[in-house]
């Protein structure tokens, strides 16, 4: 008998509606005890996916008008009986409604407890449960699409396919080692094993290489716009973000703090960090700005290093270039509308633009995509969490080791042990053999009500 839980599923803020969720064996009875429908007797006998309109009551008095939507096990998000009560979006009313449910016998839900129940009732595998949290937190169209894809079980299915193939081989190996003389025992050759393990390792490796893209897509990409004062960093930031976030003047040292601006590139969200022009300065405020600019460069996924194309490169440009050279970067020559003579520039341009005239920007965007390795197929974003990445990488390591040892000539029972080591993390990824601690950790990232 599962304890019935209750929580507010929508933000605690003034809004059109607020939704309070109940899940558990007694969900419908508890909702029924506080809900007076206007047009039917009670919601007790309402079939699943049916709703009723009425009053929710507290201490015998109407608390609010609400719609009660009934789900019956197993056809609900959690797989249990559920009721969703939609009331007016007043945080006070919503909190009282939750309190009324608790008075009627429900317990307050813990973080992620609804999704956890869905996992425990086999409605979702662990990677799908993670995708629910990711979907809620997605900050761009592509991140949401990728999370939705994982939510539907694409990753779990690919992993299952690989794991099933390996488990079948493990079974054959087990039969072989138990009855080596048995004529009918399925026979596996060393060559077949090597071939199969290599193929599986390759598939895992493809999933792993998509992780970086997945992570970038999920978290949003941080791009620092850095360079000497007055080269046009703020003009470029404004252009890319289509906003006037940054102040632009012809005075060197205009930007003194990090100015963040959002932009989207092919549905991927970018966080542009316009920075103070980096230079030696005695101005106390500007000095802090310069330090922040350097820190922003360090913490970014990509640096747009902007130089003024209308003048020869200066020692200051070179100084900054030396600081960013080892990070992923693009050298942007700006103000090419002002070029009157061609200088022998010491730093090679990746792209030439005029931020003021919005010229060369398409090319710059192409280069940003290329530099970030944003090969934006949905497949490349399948793995989204460090946990999933670690599972896949442990499995791959065991398979690589098995192939290596088989080539060296080890006995097949050693290969069988390594094979188990490869299967285990794959089962863990989808939650089939995840430890309690791993499961706790996954659900710790959820909000209450989800
Ligand atoms: N002609 C021309 N002028 C530009 C271009 N880009 C920027 N400018 C001008 O250059 C000056 C400096 O531009 P900003 O965008 O403020 O430069 P910044 O690098 O942010 O400068 P700081 O914040 O002081 O470090 C302004 O007068 C801009 O209008 C360009 O492509 N062509
Ligand atoms: Mg600026």
Could you report the per-residue pLDDT of 147-172, keeping only the tens digit for each? Answer: 888 888 888 889 999 999 999 888 88
Dist CA 144 CA 134 (whole Å): 8
Give residue for tokens 């060197």: 252
Reading the block at residue 25, the tokens are 């064996």
Q: How far is CA 163 from CA 159, 225, 307, 430, in A?
A: 6, 44, 52, 10
Q: How many CB atoms lie within 10 A of CB 378?
A: 16
Distance 331 CA to ligand 1 centre (A): 16
Q: Give the strand pairing for 15-23 and 351-352.
A: unpaired
Instruction: Give per-residue pLDDT as tens, 63-95.
Output: 999 999 999 999 999 999 999 999 999 999 999
Domains of the chain listed by start with CATH number: 5-120 (3.30.1360.120), 126-430 (3.40.50.300)
Contact 28, 81 (CB under 8 A): yes
Dist CA 146 CA 139 (whole Å): 11
Residue 409 has pLDDT above 80, yes or no: yes
Confidence of residue 324 (pLDDT cuts 50, 70, 90): very high
Dist CA 294 CA 229 (whole Å): 14
Instruction: Give per-residue pLDDT as tens, 31-41.
Output: 999 999 999 99
Contact 292, 258 (CB under 8 A): yes
Q: What is the pLDDT of residue 68?
A: 98
Q: Residue of the nearest CA to atom 12 in ligand 1?
A: 230
CA-256 nearest atom, ligand 1: 23
Q: What is the pLDDT of residue 185?
A: 56
Instruction: Give per-residue pLDDT as tens, 24-65.
Output: 999 999 999 999 999 999 999 999 999 999 999 998 899 999
Residue 376 has pLDDT above 80, yes or no: no
More confident residue, 268 or 54: 54
Between vectors from CA 196 to CA 191 and to CA 199, what angle results, nearest 5°?
A: 125
Total-model pTM: 0.64
- List Cβ neighbours of 86 (8 Å cut-off, separation of 6 or more): 17, 18, 19, 66, 67, 69
Dist CA 128 CA 151 (whole Å): 4
Q: Where are the beta strands (DSSP E) in 266-423?
A: 268-274, 302-308, 329-334, 351-352
Instruction: Give per-residue pLDDT as tens, 350-374.
Output: 999 999 999 999 999 999 988 887 6
Dist CA 272 CA 258 (whole Å): 10
Q: What is the pLDDT of residue 229?
A: 96
Between vectors from CA 87 to CA 82 and to CA 91, what angle results, nearest 5°?
A: 110
Distance 292 CA to ligand 2 centre (A): 13
Sign, Cα dihedral of 186, 189, 192, 193: positive
How buried is 354 (Cβ within 10 angstroms: 0-12 exposed, 13-18 middle, 19+ buried)?
A: buried
- Closest by CA position to 273, among listed 263, 285, 258: 258
Reading the block at residue 48, the tokens are 């699943």
Percentage of the chain lying above the pLDDT 90 cut? 66
CB of 253 closer than 6 angstroms to any ligand 1 atom: yes
Residue 223 has pLDDT above 90, yes or no: yes
Reading the block at residue 183, the tokens are 């004529």
Q: What is the pLDDT of residue 139?
A: 76
Q: Can you say whether residue 334 is alpha, beta or left, with left for phi > 0 and alpha for psi between -120 and 50 degrees?
A: beta
Q: What is the pLDDT of residue 353?
A: 97
Q: Which of 235, 337, 338, 358 to mutate to test the pocket of ligand 1 (most atoms within 8 A of CB)?
A: 235
Q: What is the DSSP letter of 58?
A: E
Contact 110, 444 (CB under 8 A): no
Instruction: Give per-residue pLDDT as tens, 125-148.
Output: 988 998 888 888 877 777 788 888
Q: What is the radius of gyration, based on Cα positions, of the chain?
A: 29
* Omega within 30 of 0 (cis) for the link into 381: no
Reading the block at residue 399, the tokens are 């398979």
Q: Residue of the nearest CA to atom 11 in ligand 1?
A: 250
CA-250 nearest atom, ligand 1: 27
SS3 sequence of 241-258: HCCCCCCCCCCCCCCCCC
**Which ligand is the nearest neighbour of the Cα of 231?**
1
Q: Residue of the nearest CA to atom 8 in ligand 1?
A: 232
Distance 363 CA to ligand 1 centre (A): 20
CA-229 nearest atom, ligand 1: 25
Q: How far is CA 354 from CA 276, 307, 310, 358, in A?
A: 20, 11, 11, 6
Dist CA 394 CA 422 (whole Å): 7
Backbone angles phi, psi at 7, to 5 degrees: -165, 160
CB of 252 closer than 6 angstroms to any ligand 1 atom: yes
Instruction: Give per-residue pLDDT as tens, 91-110.
Output: 999 999 999 999 999 999 98
First to last CA, the chain: 21
């Amino acid at each position: 008998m599962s304890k019935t839980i209750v929580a507010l599923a929508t933000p605690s803020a003034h809004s059109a509606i607020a939704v309070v969720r109940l899940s558990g064996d007694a969900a419908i009875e508890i909702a029924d005890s506080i809900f007076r429908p206007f047009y039917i007797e009670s919601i007790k006998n309402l079939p699943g996916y049916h709703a009723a309109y009425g009053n929710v009551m507290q201490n015998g008095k109407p608390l609010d008008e609400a719609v009660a939507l009934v789900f019956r096990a197993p056809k609900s998000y959690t797989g249990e009986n559920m009721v969703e009560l939609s009331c007016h979006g007043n945080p006070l009313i919503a909190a009282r409604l939750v309190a009324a449910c608790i008075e009627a016998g429900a317990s307050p839900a813990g973080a992620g407890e609804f999704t956890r129940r869905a996992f425990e009732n086999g409605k979702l595998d662990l990677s799908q449960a993670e995708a629910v949290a990711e979907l809620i937190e997605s900050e761009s169209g592509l991140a949401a699409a990728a999370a939705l894809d994982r939510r539907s079980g694409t990753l779990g299915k690919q992993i299952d396919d690989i794991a099933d193939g390996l488990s079948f081989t493990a079974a054959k190996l087990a039969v072989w080692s138990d009855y080596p003389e048995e004529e009918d025992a399925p026979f596996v050759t060393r060559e077949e094993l090597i071939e199969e393990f290599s193929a599986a390792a390759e598939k895992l490796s493809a999933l792993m290489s998509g992780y970086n893209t997945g992570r970038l897509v999920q978290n949003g990409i941080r791009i620092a716009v850095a360079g000497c004062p007055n080269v046009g960093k703020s003009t470029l930031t404004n252009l890319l973000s289509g906003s006037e976030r940054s102040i632009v003047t012809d005075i060197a040292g205009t930007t003194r703090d990090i100015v963040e601006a959002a932009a989207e590139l092919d549905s991927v969200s970018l966080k542009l960090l316009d920075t103070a022009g980096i230079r030696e300065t005695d101005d106390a405020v500007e000095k802090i700005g310069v330090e922040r600019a350097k820190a922003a460069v360090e913490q970014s996924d990509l640096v747009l290093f902007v130089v003024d194309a209308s003048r020869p490169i200066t020692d200051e440009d070179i100084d900054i270039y030396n600081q960013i050279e080892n990070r992923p970067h693009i050298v942007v020559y700006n103000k090419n509308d002002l070029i009157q003579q061609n200088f022998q520039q010491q730093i090679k341009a990746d792209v030439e633009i005029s931020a003021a005239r919005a010229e060369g920007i398409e090319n710059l965007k192409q280069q940003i995509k290329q530099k970030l390795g944003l090969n934006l197929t949905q497949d490349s974003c399948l793995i989204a969490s460090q946990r999933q990445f670690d599972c896949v990488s442990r499995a791959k390591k065991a398979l690589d080791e098995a192939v290596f040892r088989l080539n060296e000539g080890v006995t097949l029972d050693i290969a069988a042990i390594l094979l188990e080591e490869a299967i285990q993390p794959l089962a863990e990824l989808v939650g089939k053999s995840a430890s309690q601690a791993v499961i706790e950790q996954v659900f710790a990232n959820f909000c209450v009500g989800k």
